[in-house]
Amino acid sequence: MRIGTGYDSHRFEPGRPLILAGVSVPYERGLAGHSDADAIAHAVTDALLGAAALGDIGTHFPPSDEKWRGANSLELLAHAYDLLERQNYQAVNIDVTIVCEQPKLGPYVPAMRETLARVLGIGPHAVSIKAKTNEGMGWIGCGEGLAVMAVALIDRIRP
């Protein structure tokens, strides 16, 4: 078994949709970024790639490459997961922590878990997503954006 960690953060930006783990969350601002800026998908992608020692999301999907502009981050996650499977790895479980003041994400967590589980071919029971606030402190506490931390446990695929 191997473990990897991932982190992503984005500023909020008016006029963009807020997409987290492939789920559209109603809010007056979305996340700024080159792709759809799905910070959960990005952090999970980094955690999985790190666990398999396959680099990071920026190596595989550089923001300098226009091909990835506006990309669906779940597709990036699926591509990264395919790289893991080619190395004979599979996800065992994923644990995600989102840190933001607003919007309140609790009602969307079940759909987020289902979406990530579907992309990774694991059960939703193996995907944990927790939403926390930053208690009003720092740039997150001021509502400028959000951050996501992810941990992925992978193991060899049994023949």
Q: Give the domains, in start order, of the chain with CATH numbers.
A: 2-156 (3.30.1330.50)
pTM surpassing 0.85?
Answer: yes
Give the position of tokens 């990309």. 71
CA distance 98 to 106: 11
Question: In the chain, pLDDT over 70 holds for what percent of residues?
Answer: 99
CA distance 82 to 59: 16
Q: Are 60 and 79 in contact (CB under 8 A)?
A: yes
**How crowded is residue 150: how many other Cβ atoms within 10 Å of its Cβ?**
28
Give the position of tokens 């990071």. 56
- What is the per-residue pLDDT across 92-133, written as a single tens digit (0 to 9) for each? 999 999 999 999 999 999 999 999 999 999 999 999 999 999
Find out whether the peptide bond into 103 is cis, omega within 30 degrees of 0: yes
Among 40, 32, 81, smallest CA distance to 60 is for 81
Q: In the predicted model, what is the mean pLDDT of the chain?
A: 95
Using only C-alpha atoms, what is the Rg of the chain?
15
Is residue 159 pLDDT above 70, yes or no? no
Among 46, 40, 47, 44, smallest CA distance to 19 is for 40
Amino acid at 73: S
Tokens of 111: 């759909």
